[in-house]
Chain A
């Protein structure tokens, strides 16, 4: 059976094609102001990459913040359900899934089948998401890709009190003027984000093993801050941003049987 998962996230649309347990295609497009058009482009690219036609797909499921407007799809699964299902498929022993995306973070406690047992979502504040790191990296004039690596060079923790991405950007101005090294500021920012995520994870409980999915998992500074804060190792999949789409494709397969 060949299925597809379309994850219409806040920042990017991800498409994944799955045949049995083999991934045939992974594509993504920036969602921008036209997420439906972005989904169509990502879907077309996945068809091209896999050499399939739409008729070859037995079922297509959507997930993500924009799942209700997703084109092509027959049905949808929540972001929480998709993250859990995709992660358990990759790492059956994981019991806590942390999903940090463009504009929100989620913590999911799940069972051995990937069924969600408890979950918490931070739906409002951009702190704890990619938007936060983007704004601070911009303020420090550091490319986002370098921002996480920079924090690994720091050995000093400085506190950051702001809970809001907007105020945090203002708070960063003071250490910049005080000639605080950028690596220390970077570490402070990642520690602040991680502390908010950890606070949310504690609502559902930290049950080993723990996996981090979503695009922010590419940020080594955030992973390091999360591991130090939770005092546990965090598993990061090879393609963390596609785990939601994988979960949607797996759910499509299960519901089509």
Chain B
């Protein structure tokens, strides 16, 4: 399942997509600790699978919470994307 957390507003679409089908294959979920803001969490979804998700309190401000990892120039690889061994995470912006 591709879970799209975030929002769109007049300035664009700000979604973090997590392909939760890959979460079952992963036991230690390294990306959860990789985010400097700590916006990831592990939840049990409606199908009793342990999957990664964006915390409720971060979903409405992902654009701003992710800003420190997205400088205008010389953008380094995103820590959350780098930490996920299954390439299960992507950002829309």
Binding site for B on A (CB under 8 A): 77-78, 80-81, 115-125, 162-164, 167, 196, 199-200, 203-204, 251
Choose one: A118, A124, A196, A203; the contact of B1 (CB below 8 Å): A118
Binds A, one of B3-11, B27-35, B69-77, B79-87: B3-11
* A-B CB contacts (within 8 Å), total count: 58
Q: Are B6 and A123 in contact (CB under 8 A)?
A: yes
Q: Which residue of B lies closest to A65 (CB)?
A: B56
Q: Which residue of A lies closest to B92 (CB)?
A: A203
CB distance from A246 to the nearest CB of B (A): 15
Question: A116 with B10: in contact, given A78-B45, A203-B15 (CB under 8 Å)?
Answer: no
The 7 A-B pairs at the shortest CB distance, nearest first, are namely A163-B10, A124-B7, A81-B46, A120-B4, A118-B2, A124-B60, A123-B59
Please, which residues of chain A bring their CB within 8 A of the CB of B15? 120, 203
Please, which residues of chain A bring their CB within 8 A of the CB of B2? 117-119, 204
Q: B93 within 8 Å of A by Cβ? A: no
Please, which residues of chain B bring their CB within 8 A of the CB of A199? 8, 13
Tell me the bound Cα distance from A206 to B7 in angstroms.
19
Q: Are A119 and B1 in contact (CB under 8 A)?
A: yes
Please, which residues of chain B bring their CB within 8 A of the CB of A116? 1, 46
Tell me the bound Cα distance from A138 to B3 in angstroms.
35
Tell me the bound Cα distance from A147 to B8 in angstroms.
25
Please, which residues of chain B bring their CB within 8 A of the CB of A203? 4, 13, 15
Interface size band for B: 10 to 19
Tell me the bound Cα distance from A123 to B16 in angstroms.
13
CB distance from A193 to the nearest CB of B (A): 13
What are 20 A-B pairs at a CB distance below 8 A? A81-B45, A116-B1, A118-B3, A118-B4, A120-B4, A120-B15, A121-B59, A122-B7, A122-B8, A123-B5, A123-B6, A124-B6, A124-B7, A124-B60, A163-B9, A163-B10, A167-B10, A196-B8, A203-B13, A203-B15
Tell me the bound Cα distance from A164 to B7 in angstroms.
12
Choose one: A81, A119, A164, A204; the contact of B10 (CB below 8 Å): A164
Q: Are B9 and A164 in contact (CB under 8 A)?
A: yes
Tell me the bound Cα distance from A121 to B45 in angstroms.
16
Q: Are A204 and B4 in contact (CB under 8 A)?
A: yes
Knowing that A123-B5, A124-B60, A167-B10 are A-B contacts, what are 18 other residue pairs whose CB atoms are under 8 Å apart, sorted by A's residue number?
Answer: A77-B46, A78-B46, A81-B45, A115-B47, A116-B1, A117-B2, A118-B2, A119-B1, A120-B15, A122-B7, A123-B59, A123-B60, A124-B7, A124-B9, A124-B61, A163-B10, A164-B9, A199-B8
Please, which residues of chain A bring their CB within 8 A of the CB of B7? 121-125
Tell me the bound Cα distance from A35 to B47 in angstroms.
27
Tell me the bound Cα distance from A121 to B5 in angstroms.
6
Q: Are B8 and A125 in contact (CB under 8 A)?
A: yes
Interface centre among A81, A121, A196 (most CB of B within 10 A): A121
Q: Which residue of B lies closest to A115 (CB)?
A: B47
Q: Are A119 and B4 in contact (CB under 8 A)?
A: yes
Q: Which residue of B lies closest to A205 (CB)?
A: B2
Please, which residues of chain A bring their CB within 8 A of the CB of B9? 124-125, 163-164
